[in-house]
Amino acid sequence: MTINSTDLFSSVQLGPYTLPNRIVMAPMTRNRAGEGNIPTAINAKYYAQRATAGLIVTEATQVSPQGVGYPATPGIHSPEQIEGWRQVTDAVHSLGGRIFLQLWHVGRISHPSLQPDGALPVAPSAIAPLGDAMTYTGSQPFVTPRALETDEIAGVVDQFLQGAKNAQAAGFDGVEIHGAFGYLLDQFLQDGANQRSDRYGGYIENRARFLLEVTEAVCSVWGGNRVGIKLSPSNTYNDIRDSNPKATFSYVIDQLNQFGLGYVHLMEPTPADIRHGGTPIPAAYFRAIYQGTLIFNGGYDKEKANSAILSGHADLVSFGTLYIANPDLPERFRLDTALNEPDSSTFYGGDEKGYIDYSFLNPSKIA
C-alpha cells in the first residue's frame, strides 16, 4: 500500500497524526545525557530546535539498566529519566512538533563496566562480537556475553513493555522499537549471532519470535498505529551477519503487517556494509512486501528523497547527519539554500558545541 505521495513537503498521515511534511529526524546517539542517564535541559533545547521535522525520532534509549551499552546515553526506566524526557516532549510540543522515543536494548554490545554489578552482557548466544565497547574509561574489547535462558526472555520483553509505558508517562507521541544495527533484537534475528536450539533459534520463524513478541507487547500499550520499528537488512555494524538476509528480513517485514504499525523504518545498505561482506538489499526491495508506511534512511539528500517518495517506494525519508548540523533542515530544503557542514569531532559526547550551536537561516526561530 502506497500513500499518494508528492514530495518531501506534502503532508502525510502517520497513524493518528497528520504530519506537515515527510522529513523525519532520524534517531542519533549523541552521548549527552546527564548523570544517571537522565535527559537534561540541553537535550530539550536540541530537540526543540528541530521541531519543524514532520517527525522526530529520539536517540536510542535503553529500556533497562541491562540494556546500557554506551556512556551518557539516556534511559527510560527510572522516574528521574521519565521526568527528564518530559522536559524534551514539552519543549517539542510547545513548538507544534511530534516526537517518538526509540526503545533500545544493546544485548552483547556492552561491557561489564556498564552493567549492573559488573555482570556479563546478555545475548541470544555466547558469541563475542569483534570490536571494542565504548566505556567510561575508554575503548575495551567486547567480552563473551551470557546467553539468555529461555525462561528469561519473557522478562526482557517486559523491559520493552515497561519502557513503552514509561514513554507514555513522559509525554511522547509514540515509540520506535530499535531492531537494527546489531543490537539485541537484531542479534536474535540474524544467525551469525543466534545459534540457539530452543524456540528462539534455528529457523527464521524461531529467530523472529523475540522481535515479534516485543512488537506485540509494545503495541498493547500504544496501539499499533503509534509504534514504529527500525530494521537494517544489509547492516554489518557491530559484527552482525546472516546467511540469507533477504529471506530473513522478507519474513520479518511480512510478519510485521499483522500489527498495523505506524511505520517500518528501513536502512539502506552503506559502503561499509558492502566492504565488510554484507548483502546489499535496497530498502525499495521491501515495498512489495510491506503493506503500510515505510521510512527510508541512508545517504539521502533532498533530490534522492523526493525521488524515493515520488516513485512510491518510500512514504517518508529520515535524515541523520544533515539534522545534526541543520536544525532548520526543512526550511533549508524548501529554499534550496546552503547547508551547514557537520563537525564530526563533536558527534559523540561533549557540551553545547556541535550540539545546539549550529546556525539557523532565521535566528529568531532558535528555541
- Assess contact for 348 and 31: CB atoms under 8 A: yes
Q: How far apart are CA 130 and CA 108, in angstroms?
A: 11
Q: How far apart are CA 121 and CA 142, in angstroms?
A: 10
Q: Give one DSSP letter per residue of 131-179, joined into a string.
A: SEEEETTEEEEPPPPEEPPGGGHHHHHHHHHHHHHHHHHTT-SEEEEE-
Pairing of strands 263-267, 227-231: parallel
Which residue type is seen at 42? Answer: I
- Assess contact for 170 and 89: CB atoms under 8 A: yes
Q: How far apart are CA 53 and CA 57, in angstroms?
A: 10
Which residue type is seen at 23? Answer: I
- Assess contact for 160 and 104: CB atoms under 8 A: no
Query: How far, in Å, are 136, 150, 365 from residue 361 at the CA level?
Result: 37, 54, 9
The residues assigned a catalytic role are: 183
> Is residue 87 classed as helix, strand or coil in its secondary structure?
helix
End-to-end Cα spacing for the chain: 37
- Assess contact for 56 and 367: CB atoms under 8 A: no
C-alpha closest to that of 328 among 95, 64, 31: 95
Which residue type is seen at 98? Answer: R
How many other C-beta atoms can be found within 10 angstroms of the C-beta atom of residue 361?
A: 14
Report the DSSP beta bridge partners of residue 132: 141
- Assess contact for 266 and 236: CB atoms under 8 A: no
